[in-house]
Structure 1
Amino acid sequence: MRYDLSLHMSYAYDVPASNARHMIRLLPLEIPGRQTLLDGSIDVSPSPEDRTTFTDFFGQPATSILLRAPHGRLDIRMQAQVLVEDLPAPAEVSTSLQDLPKELAAIWSLDPASPHHLAAPSARTPDVPEISAFAKEMARPEHTIREVAVTLCDRIHREFVYDGNATTVETMPQEAFRLRRGVCQDFAHVMIVALRSLGIPAGYVSGFLRTIPPPGQERLEGADAMHAWVRVWCGEPAGYLELDPTNNIPAGTDHIVVAYGRDYADIAPVVGVLKGYGTQKIEQAVDVVPLD
């Protein structure tokens, strides 16, 4: 499936900000055999005094910008065309929980794709005893990693309510778990904490999701969204499986990957610091338009 992507993020400040440094991760990834970035650009207004593109630890492109002069508004626009291949059916082979420690111990690599980076607690996915207990309710030593991950994905989808007003981007997984409410970021973080508590390497995926309007209704311009889901290491030779607990489905051709990390803090679409005070208003519009 080929898509045209567009995103507009705007930040309006009560009082002009200055000396702002931001890091931007918005362009879709190049993933051999799965996803091809055919064209893409990021435009920033006002024009930055300094702009640098670099590759992060996980091998993903990022753009750093510096805005020294006072500015009352920041606009970031991303345009891209991406080809997403039909994913092959996932392999049925998957390591059992009881065999997982031995398989992990046999892996010495610490390259960006190594499951070791996704096995330990991280900044936004700490150990949470309540989530650990929740995970252990549905896991037995003889179960495969895939069985456990799919079961967790289904249970989070069934027991948690999607509520855009219940949490913020700063909400930690323990709070979202207590509320049993939140958005895709919260559901992904809760699932990651649950899987890691069982010794299963799991990470965060940031990307875009094509939304399909209800029957008889037209697609609303700007109504698509950035999205988050979970990457699970299922052992050798199964490799990684991506699951979307918000929708209780495996990631497919409607999921467009922007970045992989341990949690949201690793790969936030836009993050930075600035000099200023007062409040800011943030608006976002996303379009994911299929071309095929």
Structure 2
Amino acid sequence: MLLHVRHHTHYHYHSQVVLAQHMAHLRPRELPGQRVLSHQLTVAPDPVQREDRTDAFGNWRTFFALQSPHGALDVTADSVVETTAPEPLPDSDPWPAVRERLQYHAGAPYEPASEYVFPSPYIARHEQLADYARPVFGPQRPFLDACQALMARIHEDFTYETASTDVHTPVLEALAQRKGVCQDFAHIMIGCLRSLGLPARYVSGYLLTQPPPGQPRLVGADASHAWVSVPFGGAWHDFDPTNHRSGVERPGEDYVTLALGRDFGDVSPLRGVIQGGGSHALKVAVTVAPEAEFSALTADA
């Protein structure tokens, strides 16, 4: 599938920003099942400094600096990505065996996935999270099967409600209130797995959504998305607790992976430090569409 993603961010500042430095994670990853055919990031006003490089997790990131007064900032990322459907989930070992393999043993070879077992700034390891996960983690249940069951439990128990949380909501608070957005659902699932000693990483990206029957696809009506990835058998396998997508129906060719990390803090699409500006208004518009539809869809936008 060929997908075109446009992610537009607009800041309007109530007073002039004098100096600014920003970091963007807005270029999709090159991964098995995903190939980036084109990518363009435009910034207005023009930055005086710009640098593209990969971070510690292999994500592309762009640093840019503005050194002239400005009352607004526009950042637009246009990407065309070719995606393919994933293979079915493989059979997996019992989850205690996976946990044992990732624990430290003197002289054992380094396992890269082990870094995703530890707590991170937005996701604590806590007994409350382990307790929530235990009912679906039977003594010898296969690891990936247990992950599917945990994903299903979160999807069933939690209500998706915009504005019920923000990026700083602690994972235990989201667990207690049983509602949130995709970021919270992903953080909770990751926290549950790590609290059992199992690895999980945070995935940011986009999902091709379908408009209601009889309604046109709208420019800017989509949003960034987040889900969870776990390792087994030399590969990473995705689970989306927000949309109950796993197994043969797990995130596939209608998903675009943007960045991978320990939690949202590692992969924020755009963040920065500014001097001046006062308060600000923020607008974010995301459009995800098949490439064949994109030009006609945005022609008059």
The equivalent of 1:57 in structure 2 is: 56
Q: Give the partner amino acid of 1:26.
A: L
- Quote the Cα distance in structure 2 between the aligned partners of 1:241 and 1:3: 21
SS of the aligned residue for 1:176 comes to helix
Q: Give the partner amino acid of 2:22.
A: H
Map of 1:229-268 to 2, 5 A cutoff?
A: 229-234=227-232, 237=233, 239-249=235-245, 250-268=250-268
Map of 1:92-131 to 2, 5 A cutoff?
A: 93-105=91-103, 108-109=109-110, 114-131=112-129
Query: Do the aligned partners of residues 239 and 141 (structure 1) sit closer, same or farther apart at CA in structure 2, a change above 3 Å counting?
Result: farther
Q: Give the partner amino acid of 2:88.
A: A
Identity %: 37
The equivalent of 2:299 in structure 1 is: none
SS of the aligned residue for 1:191 comes to helix
The equivalent of 1:2 in structure 2 is: 2
Structure 1 residue 60: deviation in Å? 1.8
- Quote the Cα distance in structure 1 between the aligned partners of 2:110 and 2:285: 40
Q: Give the partner amino acid of 2:33.
A: R
The equivalent of 1:284 in structure 2 is: 284
The equivalent of 1:215 in structure 2 is: 213
- Quote the Cα distance in structure 2 between the aligned partners of 1:88 and 1:147: 15
- Quote the Cα distance in structure 1 between the aligned partners of 2:157 and 2:225: 20
Map of 1:108-257 to 2, 5 A cutoff?
A: 108-109=109-110, 114-234=112-232, 237=233, 239-249=235-245, 250-257=250-257
SS of the aligned residue for 2:150 comes to helix
Structure 1 residue 238: deviation in Å? 6.0
Q: CA RMSD in A?
A: 1.5
Q: Contact 2:18–2:277 (CA<8 Å) still a contact in 1? A: no
- Quote the Cα distance in structure 2 between the aligned partners of 1:128 and 1:278: 38
Q: Contact 1:200–1:233 (CA<8 Å) still a contact in 2? A: no
Q: Contact 2:151–2:239 (CA<8 Å) still a contact in 1? A: yes
The equivalent of 1:29 in structure 2 is: 29
Q: Contact 1:210–1:225 (CA<8 Å) still a contact in 2? A: no
Structure 1 residue 246: deviation in Å? 0.4
- Quote the Cα distance in structure 2 between the aligned partners of 1:43 and 1:239: 34
- Quote the Cα distance in structure 2 between the aligned partners of 1:256 and 1:109: 29
- Quote the Cα distance in structure 2 between the aligned partners of 1:178 and 1:16: 41
Structure 1 residue 19: deviation in Å? 2.1
Q: Contact 2:125–2:195 (CA<8 Å) still a contact in 1? A: yes
Give the aligned length. Answer: 285
Is 1:77 aligned with 2:76? yes
- Quote the Cα distance in structure 1 between the aligned partners of 2:109 and 2:278: 49
- Quote the Cα distance in structure 2 between the aligned partners of 1:47 and 1:239: 40
Structure 1 residue 277: deviation in Å? 5.3
Structure 1 residue 247: deviation in Å? 0.1
- Quote the Cα distance in structure 1 between the aligned partners of 2:172 and 2:67: 38
Q: Which runs of 5+ in 2 are unaligned?
A: 293-301
SS of the aligned residue for 1:124 comes to coil
Q: Contact 1:5–1:288 (CA<8 Å) still a contact in 2? A: yes
- Quote the Cα distance in structure 2 between the aligned partners of 1:54 and 1:137: 43
SS of the aligned residue for 1:98 comes to helix
TM-score in terms of structure 2 length: 0.90
The equivalent of 2:41 in structure 1 is: 42
TM-score in terms of structure 1 length: 0.93
SS of the aligned residue for 2:136 comes to coil
- Quote the Cα distance in structure 2 between the aligned partners of 1:152 and 1:87: 20
- Quote the Cα distance in structure 1 between the aligned partners of 2:205 and 2:163: 21
